[in-house]
Amino acid sequence: MTLVRLLSVAVILMLVGSGIVLLKAEQVQLSHQTASLEIRAVQLRRQLWKQQLEIARLRSPDLVQARNALADLEGNDAEWPGSNWVSGMGERSCVNLLDP
C-alpha cells in the first residue's frame, strides 16, 4: 500500500511539474511575440509620422521656404516658430496631427 501511494504522489508531482513547465514555455513564447509586435508598431508609427510630416510640408511650402531662408541667413538650422513642434507634443499626440 505504501508503494502505491509513493508512486501515485510521484506521478502527480511529475504531472504538475510538467504543466508548470509547459505554461512557462507558453508565457515566454507569448512575451517574445508581444515584444516583436510592439517593435513593429513603433516602426509603423515612425513611418506614419514621416508621411504626416511630408504631407504637412507639401501643404505649406511657404513655411518650409521661410525656414530655409532663415537657416541660410544664419548659416545653420536656426530656431523659428514651430521648429520643434513635434518634440514638444509627446509620442501619442503625433499620431493624429492631420485629423480634424
What does each of the 100 residues of the chain score in pLDDT, given as a tens digit? 799 999 999 999 999 999 999 999 999 999 999 999 999 999 999 999 999 888 888 888 787 777 777 777 655 544 544 544 444 444 444 444 454 4
One-letter identity of residue 22: L
Residue 51 lies in a domain: yes
Angle at 88 (CA atoms; ends 86, 38), nearest 5 degrees: 65
Find the domain containing 88 and state its range: 33-100
Neighbouring C-alpha atoms within 13 Å toward the C-beta of 32: 5
The total number of structural domains that make up the chain: 1
The pTM of this model reads 0.49
Closest CA to 45 of 97, 85, 83: 97
Residue 24 lies in a domain: no
Residue 28 lies in a domain: no
How far is residue 23's CA from residue 31's CA, in Å, rounded to a whole number? 12
Residue 1 lies in a domain: no
Residue 5 lies in a domain: no
